[in-house]
């Protein structure tokens, strides 16, 4: 992913201002270490830090239309750019960049073209003819974007908060699926899928249709001109990504350039569940597997860098971002610039362990809608910023627009967890890839239970973080927390520790307000905490806190023989670590 920064209408076109914008843009250089670009028209500046994935030789930004009256700076990937180029046959393209179509689509359609883009993106487009501009962010918020306003009347737009937080009177998250127009002076939503209203869908479940939609989403993301791989934890989501990529890689342009052997990557503490599971999946699929180890101390030492790059104080995000941050540095050192990852599946299919307690299909569906809408503040933020910290791009096929529409149209009764019918969490996804004739994965992998990423890398990771916070935050500090941090008051020493670090980097009130809060259990929304009365007393955001929903809670006599055979081979949960909490021994 690249880094963009736009400063528009700042009433200062001096060389000093240009130098200042360049200095701020360099704060984003980790996102795009391959090239830097700047376009200035009077007091309007578009800057770009490039990570070259498509057309590395000539795709430098900003990009332009034929006479350079339209300039655009883009962070993202447009997967249907070749089809769009065919529709724009009367236009002359300067580069092979997938993002250049944006300037020409604007010429043809004005502001009403964003929904034509199939991909992930954040962009700012400046029209020199009337000094107007538009900015837009992709449907789900896979790419990060912030917008701010200066006291001088300027508008600032940046891929990361650190590009604008020191110069804006107020700034906030640029909402996903929206377009900002200077002509209209505000936002409008361009992404309006059927599921967004949260009406309960009724389309019957069709396993083959769902499978084909996901295969198509993965194939799109094999578009690359640079070395790539997959992140593989050995859980269902990353294993399916890897399995589909392996099956379809051979016929792609990427395979002709980089070979048909897919590279896979995993990180964990020595002996962690993810390392073992990922190695098994890699052996089954025949990938070139790379395993990275870290210690609890390695992770603790990286926490400040992680918070600086992820720009959050959310506990779950920081726990999971740290191993991903460390792994991304190792991956980039191997010369890889792009990876495909499995974020989004749990939100779409109700895969988190607390969904076992969903009281009915209506509640389950509304919770999945809320989770998808909030992804840009959690897993999308983590996956993008933890990797972009080292100039690595993460692609997420589960968050493909077409795939989400397909998956969210299914009658949610099929997503309900029903052990009596043999339906464990994400059963509709597992069943879609349960192919007896040409298996994508062995059944014991296909039906492996969910691990939180922060747990899967090694159970002592979270225990180590809590112990470190305990040694840095006193009881007296906690007693005054509501006065020191009146908004999103930290309720644990771990949360307090992260908040201290965050506010050292980002002290502005606007920055504090960009981070969500509220009670959560096992990654739930605050509303879902109401599903079980016991959860209100055990608000740990880790998956450990979902009481009674690990595999040991399944009664095997209620499961069909095929599922029971798989689950009975799983390790039993023996070691109690807290009331109502169980982990693998």
In angstroms, the CA 439 to CA 427 distance is 16
pLDDT tens column, 11-66: 999 999 999 999 999 999 999 999 999 999 999 999 999 999 998 888 899 999 99
CA 497 vs CA 309, 464, 467, 503, 514: distances in Å: 16, 13, 11, 10, 18
Q: What is the mean pLDDT of residues 142-150?
A: 98
Alpha carbon distance 462, 464 (integer Å): 5
Q: What is the pLDDT of residue 182?
A: 97
Say if residues 379 and 431 touch (Cβ distance below 8 Å).
no
Burial per residue of 487-496, b for 16 or more beta-carbon CB atoms within 10 angstroms, e otherwise:
ebebebbbbb
Mark the binding-site residues, compressed into ranges.
98, 231, 267, 341-342
d(CA 380, CA 7): 25
How big is the chain, counted in residues? 585
pLDDT at residue 550, rounded to an integer: 47
Q: Which residue has the tokens 């589960």?
A: 398
CB 215 within 8 A of CB 248: yes
Amino acid 59: pLDDT:
83
Tens-digit pLDDT profile for residues 86-116? 999 999 999 999 999 999 999 999 999 999 9
Cα distances (angstroms) measured from residue 286 to each of 214, 242, 263, 337, 425: 21, 10, 9, 21, 27
- Residue 183's SS3 state is coil
pLDDT, average across residues 524-539:
81
Above pLDDT 90, what percent of the chain?
83
In order of 153, 206, 268, 348, 571, the CA distances from 428 in angstroms are 51, 9, 29, 11, 24
- pLDDT of 585 > 50? The answer is no
The pLDDT tens digits of the residues spanning 547-567 come to: 555 444 444 444 445 455 544
Q: How many beta carbons lie within 10 A of that of residue 558, not counting itself? A: 13
C-alpha of 84 from chain center:
26
Domain spans of the chain, in order of start: 3-192, 211-447
Label residue 118 by pLDDT band (50, 70, 90).
Answer: very high
At residue 568, the pLDDT reads 47
Closest by Cα among 407, 404, 263 to 340: 263
- Please tell me the distance from the alpha carbon of residue 200 to that of residue 194, in angstroms, as a whole number: 10
Domains 3-192 and 211-447 share a fold: no
380 included as an active-site residue: no
258 token code pair: 């980089």
Q: Are 328 and 389 in contact (CB under 8 A)?
A: yes
Measured between alpha carbons, how far is 262 from 249 in angstroms, rounded to an integer? Answer: 8
Residue in 2, 10, 44, 266 annotated catalytic: 2
Q: What average pLDDT score do residues 277-283 get?
A: 96
pLDDT at 480: 97
Residue ranges of the binding site for L-glutamine? 98
Q: What is the pLDDT of residue 572?
A: 31
Give first-to-last CA distance, the chain, whole Å.
39
**pLDDT exceeds cutoff 80 at 251:** yes
Segment (H or E) for 61: none
pLDDT in tens, 462-507: 999 999 999 999 999 999 999 999 999 999 999 999 999 999 999 9
pLDDT digit string, tens, across residues 186-245: 999 999 999 999 999 999 999 999 999 999 999 999 999 999 999 999 999 999 999 999
List Cα–Cα distances, 6 to 104, 123, 230, in angstroms.
20, 9, 32
Which residues 6+ apart lie within 8 Å of 23 measured at CB?
A: none
**Rounded-to-5 percentages of helix, strand, coil across the chain:** 45, 15, 40
Known binding-site residues for ATP equal 231, 267, 341-342
pLDDT for 80: 97
Closest CA to 452 of 425, 483, 490, 432: 425
CATH architecture of the region 3-192: 4-Layer Sandwich (3.60)
Three-state DSSP at 336 gives coil
**Would the pLDDT of 580 be above 80?**
no
Q: 211-447 is classed in which CATH architecture?
A: 3-Layer(aba) Sandwich (3.40)
Is the predicted pLDDT of residue 256 greater than 60, yes or no?
A: yes
Give the pLDDT of residue 443. Answer: 93
* Confidence at residue 353, expressed as pLDDT on a 0 to 100 scale: 87
Q: Where are the beta strands (DSSP E) in 375-422?
A: 393-395
Provide mean pLDDT across the span 530-540. 77
Name the band, by pLDDT with cuts 50, 70 and 90, for residue 397.
Answer: very high
Range in 56-70, 171-185, 216-230, 519-533 with the lowest mean pLDDT:
519-533
- What residues does 75 pair with on adjacent strands? 122
Separation of alpha carbons 584 and 535, rounded Å? 21
Report the pLDDT averaged over residues 314-320.
96
CA neighbor of 247 nearest in space, from 265, 234, 260:
260
Q: For residues 159-179, give the mean pLDDT.
A: 98
- Residue 141 to residue 381: CA distance in whole angstroms: 8
**At CA 373, angle to CA 371 and CA 376, rounded to 5?**
95
């Amino acid at each position: 992913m690249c880094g963009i920064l736009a400063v528009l209408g700042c009433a200062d076109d001096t060389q000093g201002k240009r130098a200042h914008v360049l200095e701020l843009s360099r704060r984003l250089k980790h996102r795009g270490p391959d090239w830097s670009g700047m376009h200035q028209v009077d007091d309007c500046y578009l800057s770009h830090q490039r990570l070259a994935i498509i057309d590395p030789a000539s795709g430098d930004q900003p990009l332009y239309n034929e006479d350079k009256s339209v300039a655009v700076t883009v962070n993202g990937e447009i997967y249907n750019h070749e089809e769009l180029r065919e529709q724009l046959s009367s236009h002359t393209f300067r580069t092979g960049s997938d993002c250049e179509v944006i300037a020409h689509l604007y010429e043809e359609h004005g502001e009403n073209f964003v929904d034509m883009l199939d991909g992930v993106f954040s962009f700012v487009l400046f029209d020199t003819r009337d000094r107007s501009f538009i900015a837009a962010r992709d449907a789900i918020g896979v790419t990060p974007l912030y917008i701010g306003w200066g006291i001088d009347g300027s508008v600032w737009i940046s891929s990361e908060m650190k590009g604008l937080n020191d110069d804006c009177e107020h700034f906030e998250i640029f909402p996903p699926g929206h377009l900002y127009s200077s002509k209209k002076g505000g936002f409008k939503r361009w992404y309006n899928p059927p599921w967004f209203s949260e009406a309960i869908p009724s389309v019957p479940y069709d396993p083959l249709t769902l499978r084909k939609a996901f295969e198509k989403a993965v194939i799109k993301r094999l578009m690359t001109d640079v070395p790539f791989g997959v992140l593989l934890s050995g859980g269902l989501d990353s294993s399916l990504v890897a399995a589909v990529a392996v099956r379809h890689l051979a016929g792609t342009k990427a395979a002709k350039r980089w070979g048909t052997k897919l590279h896979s990557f995993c990180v964990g503490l020595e002996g962690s569940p993810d390392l073992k599971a990922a190695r098994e999946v890699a052996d089954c699929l025949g990938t070139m597997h790379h395993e990275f180890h870290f210690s609890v101390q390695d992770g603790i030492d990286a926490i400040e860098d992680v918070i600086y790059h992820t720009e959050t104080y959310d506990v779950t995000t920081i726990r999971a971002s740290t191993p991903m941050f460390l792994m991304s540095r190792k991956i980039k050192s191997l010369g890889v610039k792009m990876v495909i990852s499995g974020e989004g599946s749990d939100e779409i299919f109700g895969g988190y362990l607390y969904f076992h307690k969903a009281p009915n299909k209506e509640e389950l569906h509304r919770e999945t809608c809320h989770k998808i809408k909030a992804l840009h503040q959690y897993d999308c933020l983590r996956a993008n910023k933890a990797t972009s910290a080292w100039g690595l791009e993460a692609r997420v096929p589960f968050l493909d627009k077409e795939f989400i529409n397909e998956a969210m149209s299914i009658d949610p009764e099929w997503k309900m967890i029903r052990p009596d019918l043999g339906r464990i969490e994400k059963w509709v996804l597992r069943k879609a890839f349960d192919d007896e004739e040409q298996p994508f994965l062995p059944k014991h992998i296909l039906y492996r239970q969910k691990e939180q990423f922060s747990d899967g890398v090694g159970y002592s990771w979270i225990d180590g973080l809590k112990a470190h916070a305990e040694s840095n935050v006193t009881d007296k500090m906690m007693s005054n927390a509501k006065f020191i941090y009146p908004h999103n008051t930290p309720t644990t020493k771990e949360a307090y520790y992260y908040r201290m670090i965050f506010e050292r980097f980002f002290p502005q009130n606007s920055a504090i307000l960009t981070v969500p809060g509220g009670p959560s259990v096992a990654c739930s929304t605050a509303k879902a905490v109401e599903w079980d009365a016991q959860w209100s007393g055990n608000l740990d955001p880790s998956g450990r806190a979902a009481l009674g929903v690990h595999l040991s809670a399944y009664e095997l006599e209620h499961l069909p023989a095929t599922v029971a055979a798989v689950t009975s081979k799983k390790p039993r949960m023996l070691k109690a670590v807290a009331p109502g909490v169980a982990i693998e021994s």
